[in-house]
Protein backbone atom coordinates (compact mmCIF):
# COMPACT_ATOMS: atom_id res chain seq x y z
CA UNK A 1 0.00 0.00 0.00
CA UNK A 2 1.50 3.30 -1.10
CA UNK A 3 1.42 6.02 1.51
CA UNK A 4 2.49 9.63 1.77
CA UNK A 5 1.60 12.46 -0.54
CA UNK A 6 4.57 12.35 -2.85
CA UNK A 7 5.34 16.01 -2.12
CA UNK A 8 8.08 15.58 0.49
CA UNK A 9 5.67 15.48 3.44
CA UNK A 10 7.58 16.41 6.61
CA UNK A 11 4.87 15.47 9.12
CA UNK A 12 5.52 11.79 9.95
CA UNK A 13 1.86 10.93 10.39
CA UNK A 14 0.86 12.64 7.14
CA UNK A 15 3.76 10.95 5.35
CA UNK A 16 2.37 7.57 6.47
CA UNK A 17 -1.22 8.42 5.55
CA UNK A 18 -2.75 7.74 2.16
CA UNK A 19 -2.77 10.93 0.06
CA UNK A 20 -6.53 10.63 -0.45
CA UNK A 21 -7.06 10.62 3.33
CA UNK A 22 -4.78 13.64 3.80
CA UNK A 23 -6.68 15.42 1.01
CA UNK A 24 -10.02 14.62 2.67
CA UNK A 25 -8.80 15.99 6.02
CA UNK A 26 -7.39 19.11 4.32
CA UNK A 27 -10.61 19.66 2.38
CA UNK A 28 -12.67 19.43 5.57
CA UNK A 29 -10.40 22.05 7.18
CA UNK A 30 -10.78 24.34 4.15
CA UNK A 31 -14.57 23.99 4.36
CA UNK A 32 -14.44 25.01 8.03
CA UNK A 33 -12.39 28.10 7.14
CA UNK A 34 -14.73 29.08 4.31
CA UNK A 35 -17.67 28.70 6.69
CA UNK A 36 -16.13 31.12 9.19
CA UNK A 37 -15.17 33.74 6.58
CA UNK A 38 -18.85 34.74 6.48
CA UNK A 39 -19.46 34.06 10.19
CA UNK A 40 -16.63 35.84 12.07
CA UNK A 41 -18.70 35.97 15.27
CA UNK A 42 -18.22 32.20 15.67
CA UNK A 43 -14.44 32.17 15.24
CA UNK A 44 -13.57 32.50 18.93
CA UNK A 45 -15.78 29.55 19.85
CA UNK A 46 -14.25 27.44 17.05
CA UNK A 47 -10.75 28.27 18.32
CA UNK A 48 -11.80 27.07 21.78
CA UNK A 49 -13.06 23.84 20.22
CA UNK A 50 -9.72 23.40 18.45
CA UNK A 51 -7.86 23.95 21.73
CA UNK A 52 -9.62 20.91 23.17
CA UNK A 53 -9.51 18.71 20.04
CA UNK A 54 -7.52 15.52 20.55
CA UNK A 55 -4.79 14.97 17.98
CA UNK A 56 -3.81 11.57 16.59
CA UNK A 57 -0.87 11.26 19.01
CA UNK A 58 -3.13 11.71 22.03
CA UNK A 59 -5.61 9.17 20.67
CA UNK A 60 -2.87 6.61 20.08
CA UNK A 61 -1.19 7.17 23.45
CA UNK A 62 -4.45 7.01 25.38
CA UNK A 63 -5.78 3.92 23.63
CA UNK A 64 -2.48 2.05 23.70
CA UNK A 65 -1.83 2.73 27.38
CA UNK A 66 -5.44 1.85 28.30
CA UNK A 67 -5.27 -1.45 26.43
CA UNK A 68 -1.84 -2.28 27.85
CA UNK A 69 -2.90 -1.46 31.41
CA UNK A 70 -6.15 -3.39 31.02
CA UNK A 71 -4.33 -6.43 29.65
CA UNK A 72 -1.77 -6.26 32.44
CA UNK A 73 -4.43 -6.04 35.16
CA UNK A 74 -6.47 -8.88 33.63
CA UNK A 75 -3.31 -10.97 33.22
CA UNK A 76 -2.30 -10.46 36.84
CA UNK A 77 -5.76 -11.01 38.34
CA UNK A 78 -7.61 -13.49 36.09
CA UNK A 79 -5.60 -15.28 33.48
CA UNK A 80 -2.01 -14.85 32.28
CA UNK A 81 -3.21 -15.20 28.69
CA UNK A 82 -4.35 -11.57 28.91
CA UNK A 83 -0.69 -10.53 29.01
CA UNK A 84 -0.60 -10.91 25.23
CA UNK A 85 -2.55 -7.64 25.00
CA UNK A 86 0.24 -5.39 26.33
CA UNK A 87 2.70 -7.64 24.50
CA UNK A 88 1.10 -6.59 21.21
CA UNK A 89 -0.01 -3.04 21.98
CA UNK A 90 3.26 -1.73 23.42
CA UNK A 91 5.39 -2.68 20.38
CA UNK A 92 2.82 -0.85 18.21
CA UNK A 93 3.27 2.25 20.37
CA UNK A 94 7.05 1.92 20.09
CA UNK A 95 6.74 1.46 16.33
CA UNK A 96 4.75 4.67 16.12
CA UNK A 97 7.28 6.56 18.24
CA UNK A 98 10.17 5.41 16.06
CA UNK A 99 8.62 5.31 12.58
CA UNK A 100 5.52 7.50 12.81
CA UNK A 101 3.27 4.61 11.81
CA UNK A 102 1.42 1.81 13.59
CA UNK A 103 -1.55 -0.41 12.63
CA UNK A 104 -4.28 1.76 14.24
CA UNK A 105 -3.07 4.92 12.48
CA UNK A 106 -4.84 4.38 9.12
CA UNK A 107 -8.16 3.82 10.90
CA UNK A 108 -7.80 6.94 13.05
CA UNK A 109 -6.86 9.03 10.02
CA UNK A 110 -9.82 7.71 8.00
CA UNK A 111 -12.01 8.72 10.94
CA UNK A 112 -10.65 12.26 10.49
CA UNK A 113 -8.36 12.41 13.52
CA UNK A 114 -5.85 15.15 12.75
CA UNK A 115 -2.26 15.83 13.70
CA UNK A 116 -1.48 18.69 16.07
CA UNK A 117 0.01 20.56 13.12
CA UNK A 118 -3.23 20.23 11.15
CA UNK A 119 -5.24 21.48 14.11
CA UNK A 120 -2.83 24.40 14.61
CA UNK A 121 -3.00 25.35 10.93
CA UNK A 122 -6.77 25.75 11.18
CA UNK A 123 -6.47 27.62 14.46
CA UNK A 124 -3.95 30.14 13.12
CA UNK A 125 -5.91 30.62 9.90
CA UNK A 126 -8.96 31.45 12.04
CA UNK A 127 -6.90 33.85 14.16
CA UNK A 128 -5.78 35.55 10.96
CA UNK A 129 -9.41 35.84 9.81
CA UNK A 130 -10.32 37.29 13.20
CA UNK A 131 -7.59 39.93 12.81
CA UNK A 132 -5.30 38.77 15.60
CA UNK A 133 -2.17 39.51 13.58
CA UNK A 134 -3.00 43.05 12.45
CA UNK A 135 -0.77 44.58 15.13
CA UNK A 136 2.13 42.42 14.02
CA UNK A 137 1.57 43.41 10.40
CA UNK A 138 1.50 47.10 11.41
CA UNK A 139 4.69 46.69 13.48
CA UNK A 140 6.49 45.07 10.54
CA UNK A 141 5.40 47.89 8.26
CA UNK A 142 6.61 50.51 10.76
CA UNK A 143 9.94 48.71 11.03
CA UNK A 144 10.29 48.67 7.24
CA UNK A 145 9.56 52.40 7.08
CA UNK A 146 12.12 53.08 9.82
CA UNK A 147 14.78 51.04 8.00
CA UNK A 148 14.02 52.85 4.74
CA UNK A 149 14.26 56.21 6.50
CA UNK A 150 17.54 55.20 8.12
CA UNK A 151 19.00 54.08 4.80
CA UNK A 152 17.85 57.31 3.15
CA UNK A 153 19.45 59.43 5.86
CA UNK A 154 22.73 57.51 5.64
CA UNK A 155 23.23 58.55 2.01
4 has pLDDT over 80: no
State pLDDT tens for residues 77-131. 999 999 999 999 999 999 999 998 999 999 999 999 999 999 999 999 999 999 9
pLDDT at 46: 98
**pLDDT classification of 155: cutoffs 50, 70, 90:** low
**Mean pLDDT computed over 58-81:** 97
Nearest CA among 129, 133, 144 for reference residue 43: 129
pLDDT at 8: 55
Q: What is the 3-state secondary structure (H, E, C) of 60-107?
A: HHHHHHHHHHHHHHHHHHCCHHHHHHHHHHHHHHHHHHHHCCCCHHHH
pLDDT at 86: 97
pLDDT mean across residues, the chain: 91
Question: Cα–Cα distance between 42 and 33 in angstroms, integer?
Answer: 11
**Which pTM was predicted?**
0.80
Domain boundaries, the chain: 1-53+114-155, 56-106
Amino acid sequence: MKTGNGHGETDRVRAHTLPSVNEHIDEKTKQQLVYYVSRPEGISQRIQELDSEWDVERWLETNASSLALGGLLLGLTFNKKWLWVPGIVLPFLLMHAVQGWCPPLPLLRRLGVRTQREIDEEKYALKYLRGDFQEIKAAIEETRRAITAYKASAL
